[in-house]
Amino acid sequence: RELMRAAIKALRLRRAANRYIVTCRVRSWDDEKTLPSFQVSTLGPFNDDQVQQFIQHWYGALQQAGQFSQVQTKTRIESMQKAIGVLERDLVQNPLLLTTMAVVHFNDADLPRERVKLYKRAAEVLLKRWQQHRAGKAGLLETLGIGDRELYPALWELAYHAHSTAGSEKAADLPRSKAIEILERHFAALEKPWEKANIFLEYVDQRAGILVGRGGLEKTVYAFPHRTFQEYFAGTYLTKRREGFDRELLKKLEHGDYWQVAAQLGLEDLLHNAQMPNLALNAAYALCPNTAIAEHEQALWRGILWSAHFAEEIGQERIKADTLANGGQSYLDRLIKNLVKLLEHGLLPARERAEAGFVLGKLGDPREGVCALPPLWVELPGGKFMMGSDEGRDNEKPPHEVELSPFKISKYPITNAQFEIFMNEGGYQNEKWWSKEGWKYRQKENWEQPRYWENEAFNLPNQPVVAVSWFEAEAFCNWLSEKSKEQKANGKQIIRLPTEAEWEFAARGREGRKFPWGKDEPTPEHANYEQSQIGRQTAVGIYSQGATPEGIFDLAGNVWEWCLDFYDEKYYAACKKAGVVKDPLCTKESWWRIQRGGAYYSDADGLRGSGRYSLYPVNRLRLIGFRVCVAVEP
């Protein structure tokens, strides 16, 4: 590297008028030895289009090299595209790791479905097969006599110690002296273990890229540049500890969510690589005890979350088949009961509660009004209140008094599970439920389900349904209203979208709250919004601090909600001029319909109860849902 720097400097002196671009691996660049006057930039990860382009080019090159026919190439491309679709984005978007996956896919004609199998194969490619392919001969590890018996346990322990020293999202530094000490111990049965430990460190740094050194020519610290490998190896090490995997997990709960991914990967390694399901079951049971957990014992509630993740991975059928006294169905029952309590009482920080909501959706959310119909209703007395705000945007002005009749509004937005009942009963096929304009768009656009219905990020049963147009929401309301009448549940009442005024009254109350919960500015404990950094809608009803005094959830953040009204920016002025309007509803036709409440990407301002927004009613964005209300039929 020093010679390369010297050559570049000399070239610039001789050809100073030229422009130069120098590229290298990130970890090969040493800030202490930067080239003078060079601007340094780091290439970003692949975006989704570039990932697809890479796959096309990879197999296109192999076809040109005679490895595959045109038909085989097409099949391989489709196979790899499907295989990477279930993997974490940060793995797929890393060029080195994507190349490693491509090599695995080339060798095996597939990628493992379980991520720990993929990580194991990817590590093998990086450590051995990739180097053999490049060198065309036996790899250095074989030459040194380092076999799997020495190699992987050493990496597991290196990763464990690296992970133990860190407390942030960054990969942890491991002192060279500690790394040599660990490697010497694992290479003790080999000749010259200290020498081989040093050669091994140089190898994994310069050749494999799994563990890399920093500190100039004399490397003083090492780190795992890809956190995924660090967590995978560290988690595997947890399963090998003499104290037992379950005991190790109980100790790690005190460290917040820092060890969660490593613990999960350790569990998955037991299941899929080591083929030891009973040890995995024991770990899940240990984290969800038979005894009651006090609400202040946050670490133990975190254990419930980890246990739920474990149960999801193990599978309910395998758990139900277990005959241990504290296992099987009794374990699932207490696990789900504890998850519900965790959510309803806010016993973990918001990010972890969001995870608990996701896994509860997969295990089966039993909360009333979440996955079944009818919705849970909250009765509101109506009456006079001041609508709009002088402190908001122009379209929220002027504030004006309106009067509402009593009504009921759903406690939560309509969920995927509830919307699926509409779908299963022919909601998209029966013109009866659709307005004339809505049916026209349904046929024209061939709507058969919400736009992202097949996307696992958005289709959990207890998440709010999203990517539905205003017309789909209207059809659902018409169907549910008729269904309720048939069941004699609401007499002369109808179920429909709330009017803009009803929605604002639910969010602000008579006192005119700034946010559904009051005047305090939002935090991630109040709502799922930009600062929460969750990036999708959470299960309904997990933000107890963000509920209204009447007990209505998710009116701020999570998903935008369609309202019944057309949008007219001058409507408030007209209402003000008309005096106290009874049950206002903007029927002046326009291209837009009202949406309220903000979504998971919104800033704090977008969560205000008086905020007015609008959208074209056929838009089916992945952040728009709705809730319903019951009103007296005119």
Contact 268, 262 (CB under 8 A): no
Same domain, 458 and 314: no
Question: Are 10 and 50 in a shared domain?
Answer: no
pLDDT at 25 exceeding the cut of 70: no
Number of domains in the chain: 4
Using the CB atoms, write b or e for 155-173: b if 16+ within 10 Å: bbbbbbbbbbebeeeebbb
Contact 630, 380 (CB under 8 A): no
Whether residues 318 and 461 fall in one domain:
no
Q: Which of 168-182, 250-264, 460-474, 574-588 has the highest mean pLDDT?
A: 460-474
Percent of the chain scoring above 70 in pLDDT? 92
In 3-state terms, the chain is what percent helix, strand and coil (to 5)?
A: 50, 10, 40
Report if residue 208 sits inside a domain.
Answer: no
**23 lies in the same domain as 50:** no
Residue 122 is assigned to a structural domain of this protein: no
Give the integer Cα–Cα distance in Å for 27 and 39: 17
How many of the other CB atoms lie within 10 Å of CB of 179?
25
Looking at the fold, whether 605 and 567 belong to one and the same domain comes out as: yes
Greater confidence (488 vs 438) lies with 438
Indicate if 357 and 456 belong to the same structural domain.
no
Beta strands 613-615 and 624-625 are: unpaired
pLDDT beyond 90 at 358:
yes
How many other CB atoms are there within 10 angstroms of residue 359's CB atom? 23
- Return the DSSP state at 173: E
Q: Which of 110, 139, 165 is the last residue of a domain?
A: 110
Q: What is the pLDDT of residue 109?
A: 80
Instruction: Give tens-digit pLDDT for 315-355.
Output: 999 999 999 888 999 999 999 999 999 999 999 999 999 99
Is the model's pLDDT at 99 over the cut of 90?
A: no
> What SS3 class is residue 578?
helix
Strand partners, 549: none
Instruction: Report if residue 57 sits inside a domain.
Output: yes
Q: In angstroms, rounded to a whole number, what is the distance separating the alpha carbons of residues 309 and 253?
A: 14
Lowest mean pLDDT among 43-52, 151-160, 438-447: 43-52
- pLDDT tens profile 379-399: 999 999 999 999 889 999 999
Residue 603 near residue 529, CB atoms below 8 Å: yes
Structural contact between residues 306 and 505, judged by C-beta atoms closer than 8 angstroms: no
Question: Euclidean distance between the first and final Cα of the chain, in Å?
Answer: 82
Same domain, 462 and 516: yes
Question: In the listed set 339, 363, 387, which residue is the last one of a domain according to the structure?
Answer: 363
Residue 121 inside a domain? The answer is no
H helix count then E strand count, the chain: 24, 14
CA dist., res. 17 & res. 329, Å (int): 75
Query: Taking a C-beta distance cutoff of 8 angstroms, is the pair 233, 159 a contact?
Result: yes
How many residues are given for the chain?
Answer: 634
Pair of tokens at residue 536: 């999708």
Tell me, yes or no, whether 578 lies in a domain: yes
Identify whether residues 469 and 514 lie together within a single domain: yes
In whole angstroms, give the CA distance from residue 287 to residue 249. 8
Q: Do 415 and 495 belong together in one domain?
A: yes
The mean per-residue pLDDT over the stretch 469-486 comes to 93
Q: Does residue 291 sit in the same domain as residue 323?
A: yes
Domain that holds residue 270: 241-363
Which domain-ending residue is among 57, 87, 110?
110
Rounded distance between C-alpha atoms, residue 380 and residue 405, angstroms: 9
Please name which of 255, 250, 258, 338 lies closest in space to residue 290, comparing C-alpha atoms: 338
Predicted TM-score (pTM) of this structure? 0.84
pLDDT value for 634: 58
Q: Which of 15-19, 394-398, 550-554 bottoms out in mean pLDDT, i.e. has the lowest? A: 15-19
pLDDT at 364: 96
CA-to-CA distance for 180 and 176, rounded, in angstroms? 6
Is 190 part of a structural domain of the chain?
A: no
State yes or no: pLDDT of 34 exceeds 90.
no
Residue 369 lies in a domain: no
381 and 312 both lie in a single domain: no
Average pLDDT value for the chain: 89
Cβ neighbours, 10 Å, residue 136: 6
Residue 147 is assigned to a structural domain of this protein: no
Hey, is 148 helix, strand or coil? helix
Residue-level pLDDT at 168: 47
Regarding whether 479 and 337 lie in a shared domain, the answer is: no
CA distance to 183, 193, 263, per residue, from 219 (Å):
16, 19, 30
